[in-house]
């Protein structure tokens, strides 16, 4: 048992942990065992409705299911109504500081509102948003962020700790529930992966509201992707998380692509084409990277759930190739063996075998 302020928390076993509640954003189900959904956020001015819709359609084509837009002022709030009407996927309005902006977007028909209790502090303002959302039949995301926690909690816990984030969420949940509003989902984001994971692990033990996962302010490039993959992936592996956003200082399309890849690697989305290749070492007698790039380029655009192995080592190569749907393992003598569903079915000179592999993959996909 651990303490969160004056709140006593007894850890639940995996079997005892309840499923999260079900929410519906337009036609996207969240929680209660629904598939984990992918979200992103447009980064152009919300008042540029055409640009927002163009980006939303691009993101939808890449696999995004929910789009969030920033609402910094009244002009943006007014634009959200038009965006929601034109958007092919549900729209979440990101509201900070001014509760009147939330009321405007709700009146305009938005699918969900995100509020931050750290900067929307007056209970009467939060209640007004809750009442409006209840009348409209839309959910609210309580978005806890380590960068904007209540000052009282920062003093109590000595900084933006996981315990402080959880306490902020619990206090806000209690208010909404006292007002008869329970169509909530939660997020507990920090730039620190360990703090984020700890906060989600704790909140998942004491509430059944759906959880939106993400690492905030993760930066850009490889480090940001690694942070997001570790934080989001480690939680999903424990059955925690109902919807995700990979937050990158990059184009939104990169966010969606990384999110889809995280879900695919964890088996939570159709896996598509997966290439398995050894890391190479001093035993490798072929230019494996060149062979791998040849296979990838020749099979670019292939749409199928298939694992293709390209292996260059006689130690693990045959075994890995046997485990793939179809694969090639190079030998030391300039030849290669081809495998399909665990059995070797052909062998020959390396270049000929590569061409045979590419042909056989295409035939296999065509025959499915």
Name the token pair of 64. Answer: 């995004």
Residue 332: its pLDDT value, please? 85
Q: Is the pLDDT of residue 302 over 90?
A: no
164 pLDDT more than 50? yes
> Mean per-residue pLDDT for 90-119?
95
317 falls in which pLDDT band (50, 70, 90)?
confident
Q: Are 86 and 53 in contact (CB under 8 A)?
A: yes
Residue 313, by phi and psi: left (phi above 0), alpha (psi -120 to 50) or beta?
A: beta
Provide the pLDDT for residue 12: 41
Q: Which residues pair with 7 in a beta bridge?
A: 4
Q: Answer yes or no: pTM beyond 0.85.
A: no
Positive or negative, the Cα torsion across 185, 188, 193, 197? Answer: negative
Token readout for 352 is: 């000929």
SS3 97: coil
CA distances from 339 to 18, 151, 220 (A): 44, 62, 39
Domain coordinates of the chain in residue numbers? 2-265, 273-367
Q: Is 10 left (phi over 0), alpha (psi -120 to 50) or beta?
A: beta
Residue 1 has pLDDT above 50, yes or no: no
Q: What is the pLDDT of residue 11?
A: 43
Give the pLDDT of residue 217. 83
Q: Whole-angstrom Cα distance, residue 173 to residue 164? A: 14
CA torsion sign for 100, 106, 110, 113 is positive
* pLDDT over threshold 60, residue 5: no
The tens digit of pLDDT for each residue in 216-262 reads 988 888 999 999 999 999 999 999 999 999 999 889 999 999 999 99
Q: What is the pLDDT of the chain when averaged over all its residues?
A: 90
Tell me, what's the pLDDT at 6? 52
Residue 220 in contact with residue 245, Cβ under 8 Å? Answer: no
- In angstroms, rounded to a whole number, what is the distance separating the alpha carbons of residues 162 and 10? 16
User: In CATH, what is the architecture of 2-265?
Assistant: Alpha-Beta Barrel (3.20)
247-250: long-range contacts, CB 8 A cutoff, minimum separation 24:
247/41, 247/189, 247/214, 247/215, 247/216, 247/217, 247/218, 248/218, 248/219, 248/220, 248/224, 249/218, 249/219, 249/220, 249/224, 250/220, 250/221, 250/224
Strand partners, 28: 25
Q: Is the pLDDT of residue 274 over 90?
A: no
User: What per-residue confidence (pLDDT) applies to 368?
Assistant: 53
Determine the pLDDT at residue 305: 84
Instruction: Give domain 273-367's CATH architecture.
Output: 2-Layer Sandwich (3.30)
**Residues 44-63: tens digit of each pLDDT:** 999 999 999 999 999 999 99
Indicate if the pLDDT at residue 116 is higher than 50. yes
CB within 8 Å of 117: residues ≥ 6 apart: 126, 142, 144, 150, 168, 169, 171, 172
Euclidean distance between CA atoms 66 and 257, whole angstroms: 14
Contact 241, 232 (CB under 8 A): yes
Q: How confident is the model at residue 199 (pLDDT cuts 50, 70, 90)?
A: very high
d(CA 219, CA 240): 24
Identify the pLDDT of residue 9: 44
């Amino acid at each position: 048992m651990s303490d969160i302020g004056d709140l006593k928390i007894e850890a639940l076993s995996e079997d005892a942990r309840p499923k999260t509640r079900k929410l519906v954003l337009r036609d996207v189900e969240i929680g209660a065992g629904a598939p984990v959904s992918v979200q992103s956020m447009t980064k152009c001015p919300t008042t540029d409705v055409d640009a927002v819709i163009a980006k939303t359609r691009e993101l939808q084509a890449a696999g995004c299911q929910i789009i969030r837009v920033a609402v910094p002022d009244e002009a943006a709030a007014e634009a959200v109504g038009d965006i929601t009407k034109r958007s092919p996927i549900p729209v979440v309005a990101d509201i900070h500081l001014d509760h009147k902006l939330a009321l405007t977007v709700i009146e305009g028909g938005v699918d969900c509102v995100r509020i931050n209790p750290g900067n929307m502090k007056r209970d009467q303002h939060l209640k007004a948003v809750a009442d409006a959302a209840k009348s409209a039949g839309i959910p609210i995301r309580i978005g806890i962020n380590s960068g904007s926690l209540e000052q009282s909690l920062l003093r109590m816990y000595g900084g933006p700790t996981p315990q402080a984030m959880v306490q902020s969420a619990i206090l806000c949940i209690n208010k909404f529930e006292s007002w008869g509003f329970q169509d909530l989902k939660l997020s507990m984001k920090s730039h620190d992966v360990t703090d984020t994971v700890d906060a989600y692990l704790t909140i998942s033990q004491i509430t059944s509201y759906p959880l939106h996962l993400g690492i905030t302010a993760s930066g850009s490039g490889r480090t940001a992707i690694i942070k997001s993959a570790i934080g989001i992936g480690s939680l999903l592996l424990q059955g925690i998380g109902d919807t995700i956003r990979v937050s990158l200082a990059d184009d939104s399309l990169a966010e969606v692509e990384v999110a889809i890849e995280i879900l695919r690697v964890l088996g939570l989305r159709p896996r598509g084409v997966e290439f398995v290749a050894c890391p190479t070492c001093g035993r490798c007698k072929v230019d494996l990277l060149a062979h791998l790039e040849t296979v990838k380029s020749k099979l670019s655009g292939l749409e199928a759930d298939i694992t293709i192995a390209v292996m260059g080592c006689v130690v693990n190569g045959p075994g890995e190739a046997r485990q793939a749907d179809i694969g090639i393992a190079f030998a030391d003598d300039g030849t290669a063996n081809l495998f399909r569903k665990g059995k070797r079915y052909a062998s020959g000179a390396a270049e000929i075998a590569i061409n045979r592999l590419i042909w056989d993959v295409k035939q296999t996909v065509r025959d499915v």
